[in-house]
Structures are given as structure tokens and as C-alpha cells.
Amino acid sequence: MLFLVTYQVDRDKQIECQTFFANMTDEQIENEYPTSVKQIGRWHDVPNGNGVIIVETNNQENLTSWMMSWSSMCTFPIVKPVVDDQTGRKLVKELIASQS
């Protein structure tokens, strides 16, 4: 399952968070997510301390655990399941067919 996650760095923690992020070791980067959570992409609005992450997981508990590892510096106001184009088209076609 794909999830769209937005984050907002707490203003008073922005320097601390950006410093930690910028200086993550290769090992920290490699092990940032639990094994059942795969990052598809992450985009940052650096000056404003927020961004968007797409992750894939079937284990929402592990996703929540990962978010908690950043929760001393960030909030995650939006976490919602999303689908790709192919799945979206399939679901819309099924909806249209069911209404005919």
C-alpha cells in the first residue's frame, strides 16, 4: 500500500533537524526506515521546513514507528493511502461500471 506523508519541522527545531538530516551517515540513511517500509520518494521545501514523502508498506504500525522516530522535531499532519495511475484508472472504471 502506498502512503502520502507530509511533514512539518517544528520551527524551534528546524536548525537541529536540518543539521541532523544533512549529516546522516550512509548507515543511518540505509537504516532510516523499518524493513517493511520502502521510501518511493521524498521532496523538501527546505526554507519552510516541510515536505512530502511517498512510502510503500503493508505495515502501518512500522510506518507509525518511523514517524515517531522523528516526532521530537516534526509533526506529520497528513498520512493517507494513495494509488498509482494504473490502480486509479481501474478503480474509476469499476465505479463507472457500477453506476451504469
Confidence (pTM): 0.88
How many domains does the chain fold into? 1
CATH assignment of the domain containing 45 = 3.30.70
Please tell me the distance from the alpha carbon of residue 69 to that of residue 58, in angstroms, as a whole number: 19
Cell 516526532 -> residue: 71
Please tell me the distance from the alpha carbon of residue 81 to that of residue 4, in angstroms, as a whole number: 6
- In which domain, by residue range, is 61 found? 2-99
User: pLDDT tens across 57-78, in order?
Assistant: 999 999 999 999 999 999 999 9
Which residues fall within 8 angstroms of residue 67, CB to CB, at 6 or more apart? 5, 76, 79
* C-alpha cell belonging to residue 31: 537504516
Residue 93 has a pLDDT of 96
What mean pLDDT do residues 1-17 have? Answer: 97
Do residues 58 and 1 make contact, with C-beta atoms less than 8 angstroms apart? yes
User: pLDDT tens across 89-98, in order?
Assistant: 999 999 999 9
Q: pLDDT-derived band of residue 4, with 50, 70 and 90 as boundaries?
A: very high
